[in-house]
Chains A and B, each alone.
Chain A
Amino acid sequence: MAVTSAPLRPELGGASPAPTLPRTGVRWSKFRRRMITWLSGGTVVLLILLCFLGPYVLPLHPPVGGSVLNSALPPGSPGHPLGTDVNGNDVLSRLIHGGQASLTVGIAVNLIGLVVGGSVGAVSGYLGGKSDTAIMRVLDVLIAFPSLVLVIVLAQVLGPSLPNTIIALTAFSIPAVARIARSSTMKVMSMPYLQAAQLAGSPWWRILFRHIVPNIVPQLTNFLMLGMAIVIVTEGALSFLGLGIPAPNPSWGNMVYEAQQSMSATPQLVLWPALALLVTVLSFNLLGESIRDEVNTR
């Protein structure tokens, strides 16, 4: 009795492990995922449009320099749809201008993180060996810090201002992006097609731009969305502590701080910036998750 064993061929399906998943279910969950992607992506786009074009298009009061006579008007007051804060500034206008600051910081920090961290990580993973070890050791030092602690010290060293807030926050984003870029690069480097390209004598720049960059971009995009959420929250924390966007210029963080001072009298003032942060962070998190799912299923 010889045991015949057919080599596994796709047609004959070497394996039939799980029951074939009903295609309709896949289609539905795909549809739901798409919907979440569109919703979160749409919210992000809307937020960006509102915060960057709003100040030019909408008839907004200036975010600063309000009169104390208008202090703490309730929402729905004439001319102030969301009311005013204790200093008599229009809450809606401050929300929009504050969002502009938050988003500017978020986008700038992540772009810098992407370019600097992405290159450092990709080069480190591409070179490998001693230079890789050296680069990673340096990044380990930065990552060893609780990020908020490092950012607080940096922000104080640099002094509170929008550009300095951006610089301080890159201390968090560069090493994080670099690590992800490095691990993705190393994954690509071990792929047979890359080794084939190397053996065929492709120059390094061709390998880097044709093979490595396109393959690490999806991973990085996913992280950038989460990075936006993290940076916006950290910026909020910094401004809340008075080390980020300097008052009286609005930022969601320092709006929360100001509202805290009068919380028992005007609790709704905490809610507006809190809601703004919630919606923004939620949208970026969801968008990041959708992108990750999309990357993983591919």
Chain B
Amino acid sequence: MGQNQSRLENAPILTVENLRVVFSKHGREVQAVNGLNYQLSSGRTLAIIGESGSGKSVGVRSLMGLLPPSAKVTGSVRLNGRELVGLSEKALMSVRGKEIAMIFQDPAASLNPTMNVGSQIMEAIRLHNPMKKREAEVKAIELLKLVRLPSPETRIRQYPHQLSGGMRQRIVIAIALASDPKVLIADEATTALDVTTQAQIMELLVDIQERLGTAVIMISHDIGLAANYAHDVMVMYAGKVVEHANTKSLFSNVQMPYTKALLGAVPQLTTIPHSRLTVIGGHPPDLSNLPTGCPFAPRCPRATNVCTAEEPPLERQNDQHSYACWHPVGGQPLEAAGTADVLKVDAQDGACSESSTSTQERAVFASSLDERAKR
């Protein structure tokens, strides 16, 4: 992985333009996703990173129409040139599983406890490719071999509760691959697994991608995971993209303070034992009532007046890197001036200030960034 192809080499299979998702109920609107733009080519992996409520999950669910009826999706999603936004439920049914498939977070919950795993895979196969049960079973066993589940012939008759978490997630992946989808969405697919299994599953996904040329979107709150497995990374905050870059470029040259804060929240081998991890103080904004200016400003250590007054546009630094920030960090450690700013902003907002102010934490912050920058 990590081969640094130019995006132009491969024609994009998925093009998302100005995607917006608004939940409206009884006259009030919640803007969950606010103008997403990205392209994805076959064989590439895009990681979408953000806190819960940042819209990353809603953003990908909207691609296949998997949102509740109260959601209104606008903009454009083109899969191989075919527009998906506005398709009828029936037309979407033929997209789901066949063109775009999805792997969900909790393998324990993603499988129907009352059906054996074989029939759940066979259902996925036969929904888009009508065939006899026996043929589907042969295909299901093939799929289980593809996801490297040992002794698939016996596993196929077993029920989810008889399998381990890692095995279940392999089954879920097999279901997703049943109709050879062009785009595979992994929504926090490894979050519920232990670290070793997590690595195995991620390697499996990489392997499958190489073999089948599938385009992968991985949703994660774990920026480390994205650094290791994605070609491109998109950081979302409050329904908006705040930084979008090639993985290498992103981690060598972080621009957006939010991305940097996310990095600071990851424990590092270089971190002094028992030191506190940085957490981002405050809360994500109320999506039904977004503030003017940069949505991250109330929590941002670098925020100034311009940040609360005017929203920074998503600007292109170069071909591989765009970000939305008035005061990009530019890869430098924070100056001391930032600390005063934080205190001021926190006091203004009444937000909790316990988090990102102590100098010790700031050191951790900086060192973690250095660590990243060395890669």
Contacts and interface: CB of A to CB of B under 8 A. Distances in A.
- Tell me if chains A and B make direct contact, with any CB pair below 8 A: yes
Interface of A: 1-9, 11-25, 28
Given A6-B222, A22-B25, A12 B51 contact: yes
A103 B53 CA distance: 50
Contacts of B268: 4
A13 B61 CA distance: 18
A14 B53 CA distance: 11
Interface stretch (B26-34, B129-137, B247-255): B26-34
Contacts of B320: none
Interface in B199-252: 199, 202, 219, 221-222, 224-225, 227-228
Given A6-B267, A12-B262, A13-B52, A20 B287 contact: yes
A283 to B, nearest CB: 27
A15 B32 contact: no
A29 B279 CA distance: 34
B91 interface: no
Nearest to A20: B53
16 contacts: A4-B268, A6-B222, A6-B224, A6-B265, A9-B279, A11-B51, A13-B221, A15-B105, A16-B221, A18-B57, A20-B30, A20-B53, A22-B23, A24-B26, A24-B27, A25-B70
Q: Is the interface of A mostly helix, strand, loop or mixed?
A: loop
Contacts of A5: 195, 198, 222, 224-225
A14 B105 CA distance: 10
Determine the interface band of chain B, counting residues with CB < 8 A from chain A. Answer: 35 or more
A13 B288 contact: no
Nearest to A24: B28
B280 A15 contact: no
A21 B53 CA distance: 9
Contacts of B53: 13, 16, 20
Given A12-B221, A17-B105, A19-B32, A4 B26 contact: no
B56 A4 contact: no
B26 A19 contact: no
Given A16-B188, A19-B57, A25-B26, A4 B224 contact: yes
A3 B228 contact: yes
Contact of B30 (A15, A16, A22): A22
B93 interface: no
B273 interface: no
A14 B221 contact: yes
Interface in B283-309: 286-288
Contacts of A15: 52, 105, 188, 191
A187 B217 CA distance: 42
Given A1-B228, A19-B32, 17 more contacts: A3-B198, A4-B225, A4-B267, A5-B222, A5-B225, A9-B277, A11-B51, A11-B265, A12-B280, A13-B221, A15-B188, A20-B30, A21-B23, A23-B30, A23-B288, A24-B25, A25-B26
B71 interface: yes
Contact of B266 (A4, A21, A24): A4
Considering the complex of A and B, which 3 residue pairs feature the smallest CB-CB distances, nearest first?
A13-B52, A4-B224, A16-B52
Contacts of B195: 3, 5
Nearest to B53: A20
B364 interface: no
B198 to A, nearest CB: 6
Given A3-B195, A14-B191, A15-B191, A24 B30 contact: yes
A24 B61 CA distance: 21
Contacts of A19: 23, 32, 57-58, 61, 67-68, 71
Contacts of B222: 4-6
B279 A12 contact: yes
B229 to A, nearest CB: 8
B106 interface: yes
A32 to B, nearest CB: 10
B265 to A, nearest CB: 6
A25 B25 contact: yes
A35 to B, nearest CB: 14
Nearest to B26: A28
A197 B331 CA distance: 52
